[in-house]
Amino acid sequence: MIKKVASFAKINLSLYIESKRKDGYHNLYSLMTQIDLRDDLYIEFAQKELSISCDHPDVPEDESNLAYKAAVLFHQSLKTKTCEEKKGLSIEIIKRIPPGGGLGGGSSNAASVLTALNNYYKKPFSKSELMEIGFSLGADVPFFIFGGPAIARGIGERLEKVLNLRPCHLVLCDPGIAASTAEVYKNIDFRLTANQKYNKYTGLNEPLRGQKFDVRAQMHNDLEESACRLYPEIKETKEEMVVLLQRKVYMTGSGSSLFALFSARENAKKAFELLLKKWARSRRKVFLSSFI
C-alpha cells in the first residue's frame, strides 16, 4: 500500500527572540503559518525494512534524515504503547521546499510521516501525544502536526491557534544558499533585536481574540540581522527584491528564504514573473505561493 502525503512549508510572519536559555536554546515568540509550497511523500507500509530516498542531492538518504528518524521513533513509541512489533517502511520524498531555507521542510516531512503512521495504525496516539513525539525530533515538528496558523512560544513547542488571519499570497525566493540555524542563533546580537521596542503582546494578541487580523503591520524577524551578516547573499537578494518589487521583503525563520506579501493573487503572479525573468540565469529560485 503506497500513500501520497502532502508536506507543506511554513513561514514565520513575525519572530522575536526573547532570551537565551541555560540549555543553549532560545525562547521565542513567533507567528507562523503554513503555505502551499510542498514536498510530496510516497509512503509504502508493511515493508521488510525502513528505507528513505529523495530526489534532492542535499537531502540525506540515511538514518540522519528527520523523516527516517520520525518513523523509527513512532515505531518505538508504538511498541511501548501497544507491544506492536516494529515494521518496515519505504519513504520517497519529492523535494520542492528548499533545504536550509527556514521553511521547515525537514520538520514538515517528519510530521507528515508521524501523522501518516498514526492514521495507518488507526490513531493509537492523540494529537497532543503525537506532537510530543514530534517535539523530540525538532522544535518545529509539533507546529506541522498542530495544523493552521499559530503563535509559538518557548523554543517553539507551546502553540496557540490564530483565528481569522487574512489570506495572503506571496513571492518566495531561495537565494541559492542554505543557512545554518545553529550559526544564525549563535551570532545574534541582542543589542540589535527589536523585541524590547515593540509591544508584540498587544499587536499579536488580536488574532487570539478572534478579530480579523492583517499581519503586515506586525511583521519582523530578529534573526534577519544575524543571517545577513553571516550570509551576504541573503542581504543582497533582499535588497534587489525590495527595488524590483517596490515593497517590503522579509526573511523566514533563520533564513535563507525571503518573501514579499500580496493581497491579490494577480499582483503576486506579476511579481513572481518579474523575478523569474530577472534571475533566469542566477542560482536563485523563485516560488509563487499562498497561505493555507
pLDDT tens, 110-122?
999 999 999 999 9
Please report the domains of the chain, with CATH numbers, ordered by start residue.
2-161 (3.30.230.10), 169-290 (3.30.70.890)
pLDDT at 211: 58
Say if residue 15's pLDDT is above 90: yes
- Tell me what percent of the residues of the chain surpass a pLDDT of 90: 80
189 is catalytic: no
**Residue tagged active-site, from 39, 95, 140, 222:** 140
- Active-site residue among 10, 69, 200, 235? 10
- Cut 0.95: pTM above it: no
pLDDT > 70? residue 96: yes
Return the pLDDT at 189: 83
Q: Measuring CA to CA, which residue among 205, 168, 119, 135 is closest to residue 292?
A: 168
Mean pLDDT calculated for residue range 210-221: 75
- The answer to whether residue 10 is catalytic is yes
Q: What number is the average pLDDT over the span 221-229? A: 96
Under the banding of pLDDT at 50, 70 and 90, the label for residue 202 is: very low
Residue 23 confidence class, pLDDT cut points 50, 70, 90: confident
Secondary structure (3-state) at 235: helix
Task: Calculate mean pLDDT across residues 233-244.
Answer: 98
234 to 35, 41, 60, 64, 208: CA distances (angstroms): 21, 29, 24, 27, 32
Instruction: Output the pLDDT for position 25.
Output: 87
